[in-house]
Structure 1
């Protein structure tokens, strides 16, 4: 593997313009294909095996006019007078003539008569509308009301499915990453390389997501989440390679040779770390929710693209940049290279002096000096951060959580103010009259109206063949209120007869939340087991692998806890631009878990590989921890800072789910790179000593020996290091110091 990667890096560095030209051709080709054959994203909330899905399928068959999507048009007058009947009749006629519309009911008026609510049913799915064409058609149909000076707001599935591409979050993340890279690499050329590589890979990845959308359902916010992850890992992977390139140049290697060495060493870590992220994403398939699997597909495309860009474009650009990868002062000889000392009298560079202890090394020595106290303190902090997760409530987000600038949010507020909170999430009761007699419908309506928490019940509507009916039930509470879900559970358990199912947006969201809560405990063992297996194979150390998995669980739990406090308290939610506290989106826990476990493995591989390498060379289980942490501290800190900057930028995204993922992942990376990597890892490894590298004999025979790191060149002035510990081969060194 190392030889192959080394040849790849050397070839790209030797022929940089060919490599760059190949990437430009690939970008152009992917974008051309995406423009010609790419699809559009939409949310597929179909969840097989749930009561709400059964009810939805039944209504689609029994009421073809209600088989497609729907929209709401809210017309409101500020004067308090009754709305002009002629204008409303004209609006209804225009709405009924919309392409794909099948049924437009008479408007429902508020009690004071100053608001009218139109519901438009379509015979086509929401995916038939591209971009804003559905919303534009609704707005044009409602033009007579706007011309009359009335307020018109749009709600329902058609306008809520429209997503406007926002690049503000990406720009903030890229800008912050550039500052961090300049600080870490001290060279404009070196700092710019990771950004160029990440953006190139992201471009190809986005085109791939568009092509994927033509073949399968991809969520509307999946590209945003995918770009968040890919931008962070792409910059990080390129940073590792550029850092190794600079090390090679300082040792006197030519740029091409340095690129080959960097790709053969740090490139292995990039390959393993990227593969771990990709494998963890497969855990989303176990959620059994199609929209969730699409997050995995989209992120898979973008991560593969940025990983490929890092392994090919970085050596090519480094070959072009030459020694400009190094800081300018170092190139001009104004400062001494790392490890060299200057004569006080002549100022000439002399023999290498013993390097001074870095801040990270001094910190590592302090932690390992009192490992028990440091480990317990870190554990207490993580548990304290994670404690609020016990109060986490999950629920898919609706228009009530959107910014007030959105017409869907204004429509939601108008409906809540004029018709009651529950009017934003009515339940649809689908009744199969072949199982429930038609003459029992009046009694069923009375039972529904008598249920605690019901505000109104519509008369039953029968289909043309008379074998099906639908009844609309309006709760007294809003869709996100826990009491609404309690009402749904009571109706299903005590009121609905055989052949009747509750469906509608609230019922669908409730069933999705329940399904995801159950499947989380399938996804967690899968991802944790996968990481345990991978780390055990890589490091031949089951104790280290188990410890890493536990620590990753702690950092994820801490992120969940902080996210719960931020979003489920009014103060925290308002600080992030939300109108009020909201439950944690049902999509977030599983999605965050799979992504974060993969990202945490990046830092685990980078750190443990250096510790393991030192252990094999010295047999010192304590000093290897200090030296390994000191060697990787700077690169891990820089990489984590970039990740945090990118994820924090997405916290300003108007979509609540994206905002939650950005906050949660930023917190998780922060705790992982500080409390876990800088305190808990060195403390526990010091306490365990040689037990870290214990391996049963039967496992020793079964596990492969991975010689992933190229052998170091022999130094005739030094004796060969005695092989100690378990005597196995070396594994990849992570990232460079």
Structure 2
């Protein structure tokens, strides 16, 4: 593989326009297909086998009018009573809107100052254009707003409207450009990783649109994919660019330097990208469609950025020539620093005192992870939105006028062929602790099923609401009856995610360990890498709990109050972060093992590997942290929490893990770092992970594999 990458990189540098034009054609072709035949984004939250899903299926079959999306129009009059004639006129206009199947009778509050109108659609929310649909709701109720009423909107349709994007991406790109400029001192060198990453990102995002034509792709999938793809894409290009600059520092011609960089750092990029893809594939084990498509979508973007790093980047490096160096370094023979003396001194210091630094780092990481023991995961709702948002205003008005539980009514669907006694069921429901109201049953058109709307005493995010759902299921529901609605679906979703988290973790860790064992021909090195990545993830979970659930940073992030950690975060963040963290591990271990194979010095190889990669890993980590923190500005709570969690984990990974835990543990293990039992050594394939075979004819080790030092 390294020989192929060497030839590919050298050919691209010698004939750059061929590769650049090919990439322009590929990006244009994929973008054209996406524009012509691409699909729309759809959230598919089906939870097969759960009670809420069975109830939803019964509603879809027997109550088509209740099975689609809904919107709530909340009309309020400060210091007076709502004009019911105006409400009636608004109901008529609402009933005439596209896809509206029914408009429920307005429900006035006890003091008459608020009126609640529920609008029901005959299609799911993903089949509607939320922004356009919300505009139609506003137009239909314009008369009420014009007569001095406050009109706010809640429910599925308004809550599915997303704010315009682009700010998070722009912040990340600008921050990355500044960091690269400071690191390389060359505008050309700073711009190349960005340009290459954006090219891969463009192809990948268009690929997501094409995927949406064949599968339901979640509405947040492109944002997650862009967040991940932008970070790893810049990093991958940065790894190859740094190795290319080292080649130029050795006096190699530009094509030769590009070829060798592709054969070494490019090979590390391939392995790192494959590790990210393995981690994302773990989301398939969740068996939840929305998570599966998030993994596929992000995988498409990651694969595209890997391809751009090993094909497009060598081409633009060929065009740039020696302009990727600082002006003072461009003269032939000018000395160029390829390693950091400060990092080498630090690595030597940690290696001389490994136990002290190991224990200190472990205490820090475990302290940061401790809050995660009390983490409460729960999907976000309108109460987490800023107070200026109409869905938050609607939520607060409903809670104030009708009670907190009115924001999350429960729907009890009953198959009357199995349980015909709806009167008795209604009495039992009304007598259940935590339920304040049970509406009369609504009968299906064929009178084979009924649905009862139940108002709990607690809002959807209240921990006590889970107990209400559990009591109803355990003590009240007869055969043929199931409970659904926002709160019941939240209960099922949280439990399903908790149950499937551990299989995903196990599969991702096991497959990554196996791949690293094959690549580095070591048992302890990949085991240590997996343990350290789990430490980083645990610390990130702990910080998320403190910032969001404890509310330590909620206000700074634009949240009105403390909120639970989103149920989506544990699975998504683990899959993305485990793969991203392995990027640095692969890049660092590749250089350390390269030195180990060359010198046989277990301790010196760690210091050299850290010294050579320290600057690039620090720059890459800073870029990724900046990109992820930019996404903390996203209005969506899931993306906001993902951005904060990933930024914290990457920062810890590049500092505490790479600069303390790695040198400390490798110093303690010594030659055992590269120990592999002989039976495994005989059966595992030999992979040239360091580019020795592909480094070109001028390479000192060309034509022969490196001799592996004796093992302990």
TM over 0.5: yes
Q: Does 1:8 align with 2:14?
A: no
In 1, Cα distance between the equivalents of 2:383 and 2:706? Answer: 66
**Alignment partner, residue 462 of structure 2:** 481
1:337 lines up with 2:335 in the alignment? yes
In structure 2, the partner of 1:59 is 59
1:553 aligns with 2:534: yes
Query: Are the structure 2 counterparts of residues 716 and 138 from structure 1 closer, same or farther at C-alpha, using a change threshold of 3 Å?
Result: closer
Determine the structure 2 residue equivalent to 1:34: 34
Change (3 A) 1:630 1:84: same
Deviation at 1:309, TM superposition (A): 1.4
1:519 corresponds, among 464, 478, 500, to 500
- How much has 1:446 moved relative to structure 2? 2.1
Cα deviation digits, residues 467-489 of structure 1 (max 9, x gap): 21111111111101100011111
Q: Secondary structure at the match of 2:39?
A: coil
Q: 1:446 aligns with which of 410, 427, 452?
A: 427
Q: Pick one of 653, 656, 672 that aligns with 2:637.
A: 656
Query: What is the deviation of 1:714?
Result: 7.3
- Seen in structure 2, the aligned counterparts of structure 1 residues 603 and 56 have a Cα distance that, compared at 3 Å, is same
Which of 380, 393, 396 does residue 410 from structure 1 map onto? Answer: 393
Moved more, 12-21 or 465-474: 12-21
CA contact (8 A) 2:692 2:705 kept: no
- For residue 556 of structure 2, what is the aligned residue in structure 1? 575
Give the aligned partner of residue 693 of structure 1.
674
Q: Residue 19 of structure 1: CA displacement?
A: 2.2
Which whole-Å deviations, capped at 9, do the CAs of 1:602-639 have from their partners, x for residues lacking one? 11111111211222222222222212211211111111
Partner of 2:371: 388
C-alpha separation between the residues in 2 aligned to 1:714 and 1:106? Answer: 82
**Given the alignment of the two structures, is residue 493 of structure 1 paired with residue 493 of structure 2, yes or no?**
no
Give secondary structure in 1 for the equivalent of 2:437: strand
Aligned counterpart, 1:679: 660
Report matched runs for 1:587-606 at 5 Å: 587-606=568-587
Whether the aligned pair in 1 keeps the contact of 2:340 and 2:614 (CA below 8 Å) is no
Query: Equivalent residues in 2 for 1:348-359 (5 A)?
Result: 358-359=341-342
Partner Cα separation in structure 2 for residue 288 and residue 319 of structure 1: 45
Q: How many Å apart are 1:642 and its aligned residue?
A: 0.8
SS of residue matched to 1:443: helix
Structure 2: gaps spanning 5 or more residues:
none
Of 355, 366, 374, the residue aligned with 2:357 is 374
- CA distance, structure 2, for counterparts of residue 259 and residue 536 of structure 1: 28
Partner of 1:725 in structure 2? Answer: 709
Partner of 1:27, secondary structure, is helix
Cα deviation 1:7-53 (Å, max 9, x = unaligned): 22222222222322222222222222222222221221111000100
Q: Which residue of 2 aligns with 1:635?
A: 616
Is 458-467 or 172-181 further displaced after alignment? Answer: 458-467
CA shift, 1:662, in A, is: 0.4
Change (3 A) 1:88 1:587: same
TM-fit CA distance, 1:716: 9.0
What's the CA shift for 1:356? 9.1
Deviates more, 1:647-656 or 1:19-28: 19-28
Q: State the SS of the aligned residue for 1:575.
A: coil
Matched, 1:425 2:423: no
SS in 2 for 1:652: coil
Q: CA deviation at 1:196?
A: 0.9
Where 2:632 maps in the other structure, the secondary structure is helix
State the superposition RMSD in angstroms. 2.0
Range moving further from structure 2, 403-412 or 213-222: 403-412
Matched position secondary structure for 2:102 = strand
Rate the CA distance shift 1:297–1:715 in 2: closer, same or farther, 3 A: closer
Cα distance in 1, alignment partners of residues 331 and 316 from structure 2: 21
Structure 1 residue 383, shift from structure 2 partner = 0.7
1:263 matched to 2:262: yes
Deviation string 1:49-83 (CA, Å, 9 cap, x unpaired) is 001000110111111211221111111222x2222
Deviation (angstroms), 1:121: 1.2
How far is 1:577 from its partner? 1.1
State whether residues 617 and 721 of structure 1, in contact with CA within 8 Å, keep that contact through their aligned partners in structure 2. no
Deviation for aligned residue 1:727:
8.0
2:554 counterpart SS class: helix
Spell out, residue by residue over 1:206-231, the C-alpha distance to the aligned partner (whole angstroms, 9 max, x if none): 11111111211111111111100000
1:194-273 map, 5 Å = 194-273=193-272
Q: Which moved more, 1:663-672 or 1:10-19?
A: 10-19
Contact 1:625-1:682 within 8 A present in 2 as well: yes
Change (3 A) 1:21 1:356: closer
Q: CA deviation at 1:164?
A: 3.4
Distance of 2:529 and 2:291 partners within structure 1: 26
Q: Are 2:438 and 1:457 aligned? A: yes
The CA distance in 2 between the partners of 1:308 and 1:726, in whole Å, is 36
| Counterpart for residue 72 of structure 2 | 72
State how far apart, in whole Å, the 1-side matches of 2:424 and 2:130 are: 45
Give structure 1 stretches of 5+ with no counterpart: 340-354, 729-737
The match for 1:347 is none
Superposed CA offset, 1:547-589 (max 9, x none) = 1111111110010001100001233211211001000000000
Greater Cα offset, 477-486 or 451-460: 451-460
Of residues 532, 536, 545, the one that matches 1:564 is 545
Q: Which moved more, 1:150-159 or 1:546-555?
A: 150-159
Aligned residue in 1 for 2:323 = 324
Deviation of 1:89 after TM superposition, in Å, equals: 1.0
The correspondence of residues 83-232 of structure 1 with structure 2, limited to 5 A, is: 83-130=82-129, 132-232=131-231
Cα distance in 2 for residues equivalent to 1:77 and 1:410: 13
Give the alignment's TM-score, normalised by structure 1: 0.93
Aligned: 1:19 with 2:19: yes
Cα drift, residue 113 of structure 1:
1.0
**Alpha-carbon contact 1:368-1:683 (below 8 Å) kept:** yes
Shift in Å, 1:437: 2.4
Looking at structure 1, the residues matched to 194 and 59 of structure 2 have their Cα atoms a distance apart, in angstroms, of 51
Q: How many Å apart are 1:503 and its aligned residue? A: 0.4
Q: Distance in 1 between matches of 2:45 and 2:372?
A: 26
C-alpha deviations, 1:332-370, integer Å up to 9, x for none? Answer: 58x94226xxxxxxxxxxxxxxx9971100110110111
Tell me the matched-pair count: 707
- Report the secondary structure of 1:506's partner residue: helix
| Per-residue Cα deviation, 1:88-129 (whole angstroms, up to 9, x for no partner) | 111111111111111111111112112111111111222222
